[in-house]
Structure 1
């Protein structure tokens, strides 16, 4: 039976379900439970300031067998002039009798909202976890990556979904010095007036605004892009304040104008796995240790405004970041998802020695009623 999530108790059941589904899965990294509870709370979650959503549970008596969220990102649709809906947080026993009713419930809700198409899975928007895992099931994932059982793709394809785009999570050996090709680009591309500076924690609001402005210009051509809403920026700024020190964020400026930024934070995946997603209180000592000397790192953003894409700004950012030494204790650096159409980033990560660690697929389907012949 499919039931809507309506009460606070329902939200807690919804958030806690992956623990019962994936506890034994070698690739699953638990999310930070407190953050997930906030994310799904309409009164506190940033998405609900610019979108609407309805979550559903699959109940079999007292047993919960699956979950899904249907959502409409009004900011995205307004920006692009579309009527697209999404589904996400699809975690379920990989059986058609469980997954199909969940997907049907999400589609029905989206039709009632006036949506003509559905994309998914994506956890609300571009700036969250995006895609259905299709490779890398046996590897422990970074904290930014979603885990799905292998059988879901076939079930969704049988329900009429087709590929829209693939994305890759790369794993890169942590460099102990700027790679030769980066140094070569930095030496060759002398940009008049370029200045590299580090994040200023005491000016968090200003620094977050700069990142937002750079990202809005850098990602405007991405098919999932929409202007960064203030509430979402505030949410991620608070996360950055918790995880990032001055060396974790590097800005490039030309003539005092920001033209690029890179954000690399500690990947708390190992700690989340060790604490089962509950950092407080027992995980706090290790959290502070990993923030000072992380064993794994996560590239959250590399963004360069379009007019400087081919002028070596990214190399300047990477060179400055590596020279800080934040990676000296790290074994590896992982990326968040990199869209297959982002050829410059795909090629750059491969030149760094990056290998495919996991792969994800965004699916699409028309919600228009089928015409009878």
Structure 2
């Protein structure tokens, strides 16, 4: 994925101010920065600090079994003003025949000089590993949070989607980064399926002898591996997609299990073979602010109690996965799955809206389908890049 840019910043001629993160205190500062910068933004949803530390933990994050990361911060006036992670993902490069590096975990004050020092430091580290292009933000693969919000400000993000203030795109562009790919979020499609969709769904189920069922909690691991079977095939060949390792997928499934409702996971099978999946999650971001970034405080589960009480008011969902294996795509199975998913969302009582995505801006088949189902393009997230 080569990205050309004619506006790369010239070297400043002075020693870089970005510092590698070393030691617990510096790591704590790295984790805390988004709360400090954006804590008063009404659209900022404070993530759980434990989740942030897990992502960076080389012992707990399966990404580090094959990839590597270097963290950097920049200080102004003795305080951290920006942070970034330089990410080397060899699996991505093996799959795509590329020499791409990534940056992620980007958080920055509205100061172009800080952003430039961060991204130059990340670029030098990646270039030293023989990589030619820097793309991001990606944390640390496209299967996790990625992209910078460039359109659709004014509402908080849905669960597992990033958020940033409106000045971030300008910061990145001031550092010579240019658009590599846009990712779209969609709103709608949570009402009762129309008669046309219902008719197509019934025909697909009959003609393919299709069975659509919910996730079986008693067979959770096996069903989630069926989800992975579809995921690896349906997204194969998509821009930026690299299949998760079994360890990565198991770790993600374990995190999702705490918030997942089995009825919101629909598996479509033909003769017992999984061929399509639709996975939606309750929008935990509606409740997360109540925890204030921590499940425990002073050894007491104060945040957990607050989160549990706030979770009772969740009325939205996010459609995280929706895909069909390639050889059955376009044969009505998508419609059958979508209709069943709508029914499941309504049956579960979520009537406050539904976000779908993200989808690639140039995935015309999926985007046309969502439009035909009554969804509207609501937010745009951008992956930036520049040559190293």
Residue 254 of structure 1 corresponds to 270
Matched, 1:187 2:202: yes
Residue 269 of structure 1 corresponds to 285
Question: For residues 343 and 153 of structure 2, what CA distance do their matches in structure 1 show?
Answer: 34
Matched, 1:32 2:52: no
SS in 1 for 2:106: strand
Question: For residues 127 and 249 of structure 1, what CA distance do their matches in structure 2 show?
Answer: 18
Residue 338 of structure 1 corresponds to 359
Query: Residue 26 and residue 227 in structure 1: after superposition, are their counterparts in 2 closer, same or farther (change >3 A)?
Result: same
Matched, 1:313 2:328: no
Question: For residues 271 and 154 of structure 1, what CA distance do their matches in structure 2 show?
Answer: 30
SS in 1 for 2:156: coil
Residue 349 of structure 1 corresponds to 370
Long gaps (5+) in structure 1: 368-373
Matched, 1:169 2:185: yes
TM-score of the two chains, using structure 2 as the length reference: 0.88
The count of aligned residue pairs is 366
Matches within 5 A, 1:70-219: 70-172=86-188, 174-175=190-191, 177-189=192-204, 190-219=206-235
State the Cα distance separating 1:225 from its structure 2 match: 1.2
Query: Residue 61 and residue 304 in structure 1: after superposition, are their counterparts in 2 closer, same or farther (change >3 A)?
Result: same
State the Cα distance separating 1:326 from its structure 2 match: 4.4
Does structure 2 conserve the Cα–Cα contact (< 8 Å) formed by 1:94 and 1:149?
no
Query: Residue 184 and residue 32 in structure 1: after superposition, are their counterparts in 2 closer, same or farther (change >3 A)?
Result: farther
Query: Residue 292 and residue 19 in structure 1: after superposition, are their counterparts in 2 closer, same or farther (change >3 A)?
Result: closer
Residue 228 of structure 1 corresponds to 244
TM-score of the two chains, using structure 1 as the length reference: 0.92
Question: For residues 92 and 57 of structure 1, what CA distance do their matches in structure 2 show?
Answer: 9
State the Cα distance separating 1:274 from its structure 2 match: 2.6
State the Cα distance separating 1:366 from its structure 2 match: 1.1
State the Cα distance separating 1:212 from its structure 2 match: 1.2
Does structure 2 conserve the Cα–Cα contact (< 8 Å) formed by 1:145 and 1:336?
no
Does structure 2 conserve the Cα–Cα contact (< 8 Å) formed by 1:31 and 1:143?
no
Question: For residues 278 and 171 of structure 1, what CA distance do their matches in structure 2 show?
Answer: 29
Question: For residues 288 and 273 of structure 1, what CA distance do their matches in structure 2 show?
Answer: 11
Bigger drift between 264-273 and 187-196 goes to 187-196
Question: For residues 215 and 60 of structure 2, what CA distance do their matches in structure 1 show?
Answer: 27
Does structure 2 conserve the Cα–Cα contact (< 8 Å) formed by 1:29 and 1:142?
no
Long gaps (5+) in structure 2: 1-16
1:338-373: per-residue Cα shift (whole Å, max 9, x none)?
Answer: 210122222233233323332111112111xxxxxx
Does structure 1 conserve the Cα–Cα contact (< 8 Å) formed by 2:104 and 2:138?
yes
SS in 2 for 1:336: strand
State the Cα distance separating 1:250 from its structure 2 match: 0.9
Residue 10 of structure 2 corresponds to none
Question: For residues 290 and 266 of structure 1, what CA distance do their matches in structure 2 show?
Answer: 12
Question: For residues 43 and 272 of structure 2, what CA distance do their matches in structure 1 show?
Answer: 44
1:178-225: per-residue Cα shift (whole Å, max 9, x none)?
Answer: 233421321343433211121112222212211111111000121111
Bigger drift between 178-187 and 87-96 goes to 178-187
Residue 39 of structure 2 corresponds to 23
Question: For residues 168 and 311 of structure 2, what CA distance do their matches in structure 1 show?
Answer: 35
